[in-house]
């Protein structure tokens, strides 16, 4: 597998509060037969002869690899918890799945295999599932849970913020039909792509945290997933607070999820 890196952007922030280093890289992937950019945030303490846990953070529908750093103060979390952040690109509306209907749209494999392999090869990571986490917002929240379920040997920690966890409830929205096909003709496929269909797989030992605002249009699906996980006796954190599908909510929620992941990394 061929990889290439393009250091298009490297920023060092002077001052104790914001001393992290940010890089934009380019990953040439076999899974999707094209290259995509990603942002990597390194803590100020970063040294090549040390090692660090990694949190992969996925953007939502219509976003890209820059969305999280432009919309929130997430980069500060690298220094706060002494970890590496990776924000890959999910190509606008591909929902982080390996599509059976859209040729070359293998974004589950891209994230779980190509991106993770690249980061482990080029940075000083703790290359084990207990030291990796994946989370995201909206489409990215769905993607994080889906990828962790399909790759339990890669990710030991997973989260979702305002996740669209049941695509079948929104069949003609946000490009879902492009990656899952017609929702009537492919009804079984749509149902199987709901997180709840595979929720029992969280029994494999993935540390799980869910967060959704009480006025978010995805709240009912998140409540149902929370209730199902309880029925399965699957331990998880569930947070529901006042708020909607907004950057203000996500900026607050990601800070709490980073505390959760950092705690799990230290166990």
3-state SS class at 135:
strand
User: Which pLDDT value is given to residue 8?
Assistant: 35
In degrees, to the nearest 5, what angle opens at C-alpha 157 toward C-alphas 154 and 162? 120
Question: Tens of pLDDT along the chain (267 residues)?
Answer: 333 333 333 333 333 456 999 999 999 898 998 999 999 999 999 999 999 999 999 999 999 999 999 999 999 999 999 999 999 999 999 999 999 999 889 999 999 999 999 999 999 999 999 999 999 999 999 999 999 999 999 999 999 999 999 988 988 888 889 999 999 999 999 999 999 999 998 988 899 999 999 999 999 999 999 999 999 999 999 999 999 999 999 999 999 999 999 999 999
d(CA 234, CA 121): 33
Integer Cα distance of 190 and 182 in angstroms:
9
| Domains along the chain with CATH numbers | 9-265 (3.40.50.1820)
- pTM for this prediction: 0.92
Half-sphere exposure of 116 (CA within 13 A, CB side): 25
* Geometric angle at alpha carbon 96, from 155 and 124, rounded to 5°: 40
What's the full length of the chain, in residues? 267
In the prediction, which pLDDT does 6 show? 36
């Amino acid at each position: 597998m061929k990889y290439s890196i393009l250091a298009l952007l490297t920023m060092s922030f002077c001052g104790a509060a914001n001393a992290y280093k940010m890089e934009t890289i380019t990953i040439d992937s076999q899974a999707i037969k094209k290259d995509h950019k990603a942002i990597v945030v390194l803590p100020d303490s970063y040294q090549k002869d040390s090692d660090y846990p990694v949190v992969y953070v996925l953007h939502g529908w219509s976003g890209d690899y820059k969305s999280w750093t432009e919309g929130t103060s997430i980069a500060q979390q690298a220094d706060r918890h002494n970890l590496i952040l990776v924000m890959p690109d999910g190509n606008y509306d591909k929902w982080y799945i390996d599509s059976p209907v859209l040729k070359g749209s293998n974004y589950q494999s891209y994230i779980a295999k190509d991106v993770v392999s690249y980061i482990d090869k080029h940075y000083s990571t703790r290359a084990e599932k207990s030291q990796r986490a994946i989370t995201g917002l909206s489409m990215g929240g769905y993607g994080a849970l889906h990828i962790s379920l399909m790759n339990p040997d890669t990710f030991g920690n997973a989260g979702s913020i305002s996740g669209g966890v049941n695509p079948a409830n929104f069949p003609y929205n946000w490009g879902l039909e492009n990656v899952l096909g017609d929702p009537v003709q492919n009804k079984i496929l749509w149902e199987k792509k709901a997180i709840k269909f595979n929720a029992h797989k969280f029994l494999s030992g993935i540390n799980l945290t869910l967060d959704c605002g009480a006025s978010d249009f995805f709240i009912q699906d998140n409540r149902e997933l929370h209730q199902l996980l309880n029925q399965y006796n699957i331990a998880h954190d569930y947070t529901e607070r006042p708020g909607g599908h907004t950057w203000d909510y996500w900026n607050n929620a990601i800070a709490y999820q980073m505390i959760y992941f950092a705690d799990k990394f230290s166990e």
